[in-house]
Structure 1
């Protein structure tokens, strides 16, 4: 069955999650931060994901903006602190993350081919709107689906159900793309066709399912969507 709808994870897939820390490090007057930003970015992202999984498992939901702040606070403490005002600056930058360079052309190619496009993300609606508007890609997305409508983070199956509810498509008509191997794998288990965007060259996660394809970036997604 042909792919009708292409759905993307947001953070790390369409939007560069390291951009907030990198951009602050590039600003004059933040030389001390520049020495520690890679470590902050790494810990921040790890704790953000871990807190979403733990909350989903425990059944104690909060929105992703709170999880993002909690992860940042852990990272800041882990590296010994940051200067006054840098925490607030990082959160402001995160709210308006930039997209990876290939994203606009990739989404435009999918739309020109007649395919529906969407985000399916742990992010809150306000976060997703802020990032999409900042990156200039909002008009290239038919839907931005947030876990806030079901109150649990990925990879809960009820999150993947949102795609069918929004578009009326069967799982086999959906291509799901994520930079998180666990997310692409879980979506494959759900029944979507999946691509893992493995920018870092990480090993495959040991899970009951595997992504159908692996790519180094998003450039070939329109071609892959046409090949199924």
Structure 2
């Protein structure tokens, strides 16, 4: 599938974790209890969460994203020498109500007011996504929240992105897809979405053969593209 610059955008679709919701917010809330290992633990937690999703998808041995989130935290705590069961539970509880990035409500409202359809497409389990969307107060701005749990697999499987086009009955090139994860942008580009990389941390580019149509520092820049 290929991009088409002539077909108008029919839907704006967003990855959830790292794009709309700050995956490091849970650790920040308890950084005082974690001490100097807080940043390392948070980074490892996220890395292992994603690694487990990829390996599970490749093996065809599905566990939902909450189970992977728990396993990833256990690994991160072990690797940073933490063994506090109470702290573990508090970190997990905090993950259900991650902070959304500051610009998210404003940008989504502007796009919605312009008559666009908005959706989330995420590896997150339905319960996780429902809780995060409710905590951010953006539920009324979204037309759909798609979880890969429907297919019992994870991104970047191409049938995951097809959830969007099948539901809205549109061509891939009519979808503007936003993600902070470069690997997700590569997968969405391969499927045919107009992919916009939200590069919040100034990461180096990868997957040069599957480029996004734009690279933005945050979602605010999306309004200039719409």
Q: TM-score, normalised by structure 1?
A: 0.94
Q: How many residues align?
A: 220
For 1:14-29, what aligned pairs fall within 5 Å after superposition?
A: 14-25=20-31
For 1:80-159, what aligned pairs fall within 5 Å after superposition?
A: 80-159=81-160
**Between 75-84 and 45-54, the greater mean CA deviation after superposition:** 75-84
Cα deviation 1:18-73 (Å, max 9, x = unaligned): 000001125xxx2xx13221111000000001000000111111100001011100
CA displacement at 1:205 relative to structure 2:
1.2
Q: TM-score, normalised by structure 2?
A: 0.95
Instruction: Tell me what 1:71 maps to.
Output: 72
**Between 12-21 and 35-44, the greater mean CA deviation after superposition:** 35-44
The answer (yes or no) to whether the contact 1:182–1:207 under 8 Å persists in 2 is no
Q: Which runs of 5+ in 2 are unaligned?
A: 1-6
Instruction: Tell me what 1:199 maps to.
Output: 200
**Between 72-81 and 214-223, the greater mean CA deviation after superposition:** 214-223
The Cα RMSD (Å) is: 1.1
Confirm or deny that 1:160 pairs with 2:161: yes
The answer (yes or no) to whether the contact 2:186–2:207 under 8 Å persists in 1 is no
SS of equivalent to 1:123: coil
Whole-Å separation in 2 of the counterparts to 1:4 and 1:113: 11
Whole-Å separation in 1 of the counterparts to 2:19 and 2:83: 27
CA displacement at 1:190 relative to structure 2:
0.6
Q: Which runs of 5+ in 1 are unaligned?
A: none
CA displacement at 1:207 relative to structure 2:
5.5
The answer (yes or no) to whether the contact 2:125–2:148 under 8 Å persists in 1 is yes
Cα deviation 1:120-166 (Å, max 9, x = unaligned): 00000000000010111111111000001111100000100000122
The answer (yes or no) to whether the contact 1:55–1:61 under 8 Å persists in 2 is yes
SS of equivalent to 1:219: helix
Whole-Å separation in 2 of the counterparts to 1:24 and 1:81: 13
